[in-house]
Chain A
Amino acid sequence: GAVVSQHPSRVICKSGTSVKIECRSLDFQATTMFWYRQFPKKSLMLMATSNEGSKATYEQGVEKDKFLINHASLTLSTLTVTSAHPEDSSFYICSAPTLPGHPGYTFGSGTRLTVV
């Protein structure tokens, strides 16, 4: 079945540094990738939608300059948290539409970011 590989699974970084999270579709082409953020015991919050070859679409309230999204190819989308702060600590997860014309989505395994 369709698999989205997300790395790293866990990362600890210092305040002020940047962290890059990668999501790769392993056996299908993902022209679109959704990026979510999840706080403990809370729902997934859509941050942005990345589209291969064009600029990402950000949800209201999400800082574009802080959460840089790049969809470099049909199989790779990245989220870079720039100048990280402790409040950026969260669980970040990506998902991609699995099949053309099918509403199913495949989730990455998630990245636990801790900013110290």
Chain B
Amino acid sequence: GENVEQHPSTLSVQEGDSAVIKCTYSDSASNYFPWYKQELGKRPQLIIDIRSNVGEKKDQRIAVTLNKTAKHFSLHITETQPEDSAVYFCAASLDQFYFGTGTSLTVIP
């Protein structure tokens, strides 16, 4: 089955700086890569996603890049704000999701 690895597990940045979270996957057949933001005790919220036929996607301060050859994808958050503090999960999917281990992001005011 699919194996998704995510780094770093924790990340602290100063407000206004950028944050980058990286994930790798093992199954080259995976074709959909969403990113979720989860606040403590709440459901994950989809923040951005990318399909395997696209290399990069941007939505305001959030961007995701995908390298199919290397089987890795990254989440980029620019101009970070304190409300960006949360746990972020990547996932790789073909017919079901396999989640990364999560990154706890703290944005320091």
- Chain A residues proximal to chain B, CB less than 8 Å: 34, 41-46, 49, 91, 93, 95, 103-105, 107-110, 112
14 contacts between A and B (CB under 8 A): A41-B87, A42-B101, A43-B99, A43-B102, A44-B44, A45-B99, A93-B43, A95-B97, A103-B31, A103-B51, A105-B34, A105-B97, A107-B43, A110-B42
Q: Is the CB of B99 within 8 A of A44?
A: yes
Q: How far is the CB of A104 from chain B (nearest CB, A)?
A: 7
Q: A49-B96, A103-B51 are in contact. Are A42 and B102 (CB under 8 A)?
A: yes
Determine chain A's interface SS by DSSP, over half rule.
strand
Q: Which of A44, A95, A107 has the most CB of B within 10 A?
A: A44
User: Which residues of the other chain, B, contact A41 by a CB distance below 8 angstroms?
Assistant: 87, 102, 104
Q: Is the CB of B43 within 8 A of A108?
A: yes
Q: Is the CB of B97 within 8 A of A46?
A: yes
Q: Is the CB of B99 within 8 A of A107?
A: no
C-alpha gap A107/B89 in the complex (Å): 14
Q: Is the CB of A103 within 8 A of B49?
A: yes
User: Which residues of the other chain, B, contact A108 by a CB distance below 8 angstroms?
Assistant: 43
Chain B 77-109 interface residues, beta-carbon cutoff 8 Å to A: 87, 89, 93, 96-102, 104
C-alpha gap A50/B6 in the complex (Å): 27
C-alpha gap A49/B94 in the complex (Å): 14
Determine chain B's interface SS by DSSP, over half rule.
strand
Interface size class of B (residues with CB under 8 A): 20 to 34
Q: A44-B89, A103-B49 are in contact. Are A110 and B32 (CB under 8 A)?
A: no
Q: Is the CB of B101 within 8 A of A43?
A: yes
Q: A34-B96, A43-B101, A93-B43 are in contact. Are A103 and B32 (CB under 8 A)?
A: yes
User: Which residues of the other chain, A, contact B104 by a CB distance below 8 angstroms?
Assistant: 41
Q: How far is the CB of A15 from chain B (nearest CB, A)?
A: 23
User: Which residues of the other chain, A, contact B93 by a CB distance below 8 angstroms?
Assistant: 103
Nearest chain B residue, comparing its CB with the CB of A59: B1
C-alpha gap A49/B95 in the complex (Å): 11
Nearest chain A residue, comparing its CB with the CB of B45: A107
